[in-house]
Structure formats: C-alpha cells, structure tokens
A and B are shown apart, each in its own frame.
Chain A
Amino acid sequence: MDQGSTPTHNLGAAERGPATQVGAVVAMRGPRRPLSVRSRDYAGSFLFVLPYFLFFVAFLLWPLVYAFWVSLRTWTTTGGDEGFTGLRHYYNLLFNWKLDDTVYFWQSLENTAFFAIITIPLLVLLALILALLLVNGPWRGFFRAVFYVPAVLSVAVAMTVWLWILQNGGILDAYLHNSIPWLIQQPWAWVSIIVATLWWTPGFNMIVLLAGLLSIPNDYYEAAKIDGANGLQRIIFITLPLLRPVLAFVTITQMIASFGLFGQAFILTHGGPGVGGPAQSTTPVALQMYNEAFGTSQNLALACAMSFVLGVILIILAVLQVRFFRSTEM
C-alpha cells in the first residue's frame, strides 16, 4: 500500500502504491465457521472486537456522516457553520461547472485523470518488467531490495530529492549543459511529476507481481519448453494468464493510488504552472480539495462535497475494473 503506501488507514496510501485495502477485498475469504470454539458467552466474544469497533466508528464511519452533514451547509474552515444550504454544493459541482470554485474542480479532475491514464499502465508495466527480470535473474534478493528502496521513503523526501534534480540549474540541467524549465513550464511539469513518480513507487507493484510469478509452478515452463515455446511465448501464454488475478489487484490499487496524487504536485510544481497550459495545470483533485478548504476561499463544505463526489467516482471506476477483469477471464 504506500504506497504506498500507508497500509494502515490508507491515508498516505492514497498517493502511493500500497492501497492495500483493496487487496483485502480481492483476496479475502469469507467467514468460516468450524474454527470457532463453541461458547454461549457472546458478550465476552464481542469484547474482542470492541476496541477496533470503537475506532472504526469514531474515525471511519462517523467522520463520513459528519462531513456529509457539513457538505449540506454553508461552512467555512475558519468561520464554521453558517446555516443549511441543502444539496447546493453538489448541484454546483455536478451542473454549474463555470463557477470560480467548481471550474477548478473539474479541471483538477481532468488533470488527475490524465496523470492516472499515463501512470497506471506505465507503473504496472515497469513493475512487471522488473519482476520478470528478477524472477530467474542473478542476485535476486539484492536487486529486489534495491528496487524497493524508493518505496520506503516518504513522498516529502523523494520529491525534495527530485526537486534538486529538476531545479533550474539542478543536477539534470548540469548533465545536459542546458537549462530546461522542468518544473515551471508545460509539458515539462507533467513529465517531471510522472518521471519522479515512476522512480518513487514501482517497488510495491514489483514485489506483489514477483510473489505472483514465484507462485507459478516451474513444471508449466518446462512443459512449454519441451513443446518448443520461446521466452516471449512462455510469458504471453503461461505467465500473463496465470498472473491475471495479481495483475488485476495491482492495476486497481494503482488506479486508486494514482487518483490520490498529491505530494508530487504539492512539492514539485505547487500545482502550476500557467505557462504552456491553463493555470493550475498540474493541480490534482486532492490538491484542489486542499486549496478549497485551506486556501483563499476556505470553503470546507464545498471541499467535503468534492471528497464525496471523488469517492463515488473512484468506487465506480474500481467496480468497473473488477468487472472488466472478471469478464475477460480466459
């Protein structure tokens, strides 16, 4: 998950690989009965779940309910509650695209979708290539460790290093003996964010895919070899079909991670630049929500409404992906 990511509450995981919760959904077996020891002491049994239950209610269910209530009101971050407005924020977000606040929401959504469409295939493919090179490669343990190192770094550390690489007069400029506006002009700003992300996050996907590859019995490859299949054919006809559930998992978690893009834009480009593209041309939706709540407009209610619209969109996309992977099963 950290994605990255945070494997715990899935907060930090939003922006990196390890959005591991979905893995739980994909991988989980349902409850099984026969393990349980028979006992009529139900209250005593429930006590085990009680601590987690309290956290679950207090920091997962309740904030959603409360924030939904906030999103139905006029509510600023500093000023607090100023009365009921009903579904106006949602109406504006969905149908009134030209307002000062909502126009940026849709632009940020477009930016995030652009980032996701580019990075999801690249990060899955890069991780797959790394895993395939590792699976029967020399010094597997060593190289696996090296490729995973960036993934244990915080986005703040990783992006501060890339800031120095991409800075005007930074390391890359010194290499190229040239001054390229990596961070302050499009399309370079997107190139920078994407390349830095490709450096930072493939480790998690790689380890998951490698574990999947290692679970494929060697006999299949031996049999294919006897039948005269070459390396590429073995990958296409044995590896990929058998890896399919793992690929599905990695793709879905990567989608959620990519849509949670925040730290890279926050640190590298501050959501800009206006040069060579529209203002805020690298502002992802998470940063737009942050700006809406904590920037000049201080509109916490609208920002909460944005959270819910984004949440619904992401759930729909995840469900569609699960369907896609199921329907194309061979």
Chain B
Amino acid sequence: MEQGAKWTPQRFLQLGALVLLAAWTLWPLAYMVSTSLKSTAEVTLNVAGMIPEHPTLANYTQIFQDTQDPIGRWFFNSAVAVFGGTLLTLLCASLAAYGLSRVEWPGRDLFFYMILASTLIPGITFILPLFTEFANANLLNTYWPIILVYPAGAFGVFLLRQFYLGIPREIEEAAIIDGAGKFRRWWQVILPMTWTPLLTLTILSGVGIYDDFLWPLIAMQTKDMYTITIGISIVTSGAYVNNYGPLMAFSTVAAIPTIVLFVVLQRYFVASAALSGVKG
C-alpha cells in the first residue's frame, strides 16, 4: 500500500494505533518542555497541567546564570569532545577503510579479522581498563580521554569499507593513468564519491559522543570538566534536587542539539541504522 492507498477500516485502525504510540512517545517530552516553562510555585501546584498557566523563562535564566553549575562550560566541553572525536574518527576510519579494501599489503586480512574479532568484546568491558590507562598516564580530567577513545571503535571502518568495496576498480584506474598516487586517489576519487556514508558516520559519531554517559562520568572529576550529560545527572541529585522547573529546562536545553540535528538530517540517521543491520 503506497501513499494513495484506500482508507479501509483496517487502515484507520492502523492509524489509530500509530497515533496512540506517537502520543506515548511524545508526552514525556511535552511535559519536559511544559514544566520548564512553569514557575517554581506552579510546578508544585499544577503538576499535571500540560499548558503552563503563567509561562515564564525564569528557569532558563536561572540555569544559564548559575556559576556553580556552569552549563555553558559543559556545552563547550561536549563540543570539544564531539568535534575532536568525530574529526579523528572520520580521518582514521576513511583512511583505514581504503587501506583495508583498495590496496594490498601483507597482513591486511589478519588485521581485518583482528578488528572484526575486537567487535565481539562488549563496550562495558573497556570502561575500567580505559580508566586505568588514563589514570596511569595522568590524563584523567583533561579533554584527551573524551576525544581519543572514540576513534578506536571499528564501526566507522566497517561502514566506509563496505562502500569502498562497491566502487568499481575502473574508476581508480583512470586516475592511475593520470599518474595519481594512492593518497591522491583516496582524497580526490574515493572520498568525493562516498560523502553520503561519510556524513552518516559524522552524525552517528557526533550524536554518540554527545550522548555518551558512563565514560565521561568516569573520566571527568571536577565540575569544570563535565560534559553536558554528566552535568545534568549531577544537578539532578545535587543543586537542583527535586527542583523540576530548572531540571526540565536543563533537559530541554541538552536535548535540543540532537533533536534539531535529527529533524534536519533524518534520512542519514535512518540510513545508518538500516545499514548496520541489513547490509551484507
């Protein structure tokens, strides 16, 4: 059934179910925004009211002026991790994907299977080993742990390699005749042809780093080095405990970047998730 499908009773039923499930998905978010716009008094008096009776931005002013819990600084820290980690991921993954698909060297397949085997080890296993390593190097509570660990993940390599494998050899051969070396062929032939998966990887990596919780929680020890996600979890049981007006303002502000990115670049999110499961 495509767009112009007939409105049978079954289809109305289907629509009803979809609407119900969408409502269930959206109502916590609706309360997040609505509570953030209520005054402290209204939060306790008008708990379940979806529309604030006297909307106010007081909670937002409060959290942005709070010097004890510096939300601006936390955003900056998250941005450093997101941009640093994503840039390194893209660079390492696209180079490695080329090196593992379109050129040959002894030990290539061995390395490929090593990376493949490493993906069997669940992420949770790495958390304390990484902590131990960074503690030993005296690099906890700096930007290095939240930038450097992400490019080591194999997902980007596999994703891009899958695309590089699909490019016919003839395309590169034309460049060889023009005298292009390997590096130029990667940069000028392969990369421009695969900007879609590259953008997909950018989004996945960026959102993944922005949302990451356990690793920055362990790697960062002072308030000025928290990322935004750690900041929220700390004020939830700290300065703003049981003070849900500012807490929901916090959550709204922290949710905005990924939600906006998702709405704008939806098809790349969808493509990436689909690729990870179905391809091959």
Contacts and interface: CB of A to CB of B under 8 A. Distances in A.
Contact of B158 (A24, A35, A51): A24
Interface residues of A, number: 134
A20 B233 CA distance: 25
B102 A175 contact: no
The majority secondary structure among interface residues of chain A is: helix
Contacts of B142: none
Interface stretch (B54-62, B64-72, B272-280): B272-280
A19 B123 contact: yes
Nearest to A59: B152
Nearest to A142: B22
Interface in B204-228: 204-205, 207-215, 218, 228
A157 B251 contact: yes
A14 interface: yes
Contact of B154 (A21, A41, A314): A21
Contacts of A46: 99, 105
Contacts of B214: 11-12, 14-15, 262-263, 286, 290
Interface string B232-250: 1100110000101001101
Interface in A90-132: 130
- Bin the interface of chain B by size: 35 or more
A165 B28 contact: yes
B92 A52 contact: yes
Given A7-B153, A8-B153, A199-B28, A2 B208 contact: yes
A21 B105 contact: no
Nearest to A268: B236
Given A2-B208, A215-B278, A133 B158 contact: no
Interface in B248-280: 248, 250-251, 254-255, 258-259, 261-263, 266, 269-270, 272-274, 276-280
Query: Taking each of B93, B152, B172, B262, which has the highest tally of chain A beta carbons within 10 Å of its own beta carbon?
Result: B152
A21 B255 contact: no
A8 B85 contact: yes
A236 to B, nearest CB: 18
A229 interface: no
A300 B167 CA distance: 48
A11 B213 CA distance: 8
B133 A29 contact: no
Nearest to B175: A37
B76 to A, nearest CB: 17
Given A21-B119, A28-B116, A152 B125 contact: no
A208 to B, nearest CB: 4
B236 A6 contact: no
A84 interface: no
Nearest to A12: B212
Given A5-B211, A307-B125, A48 B186 contact: yes
Sort A-B residue pairs by CB-CB distance and give the 5 closest, nearest first. Answer: A48-B99, A211-B274, A67-B129, A208-B277, A10-B123
10 contacts: A8-B153, A22-B120, A27-B279, A156-B213, A156-B233, A159-B233, A160-B232, A174-B47, A262-B213, A289-B128
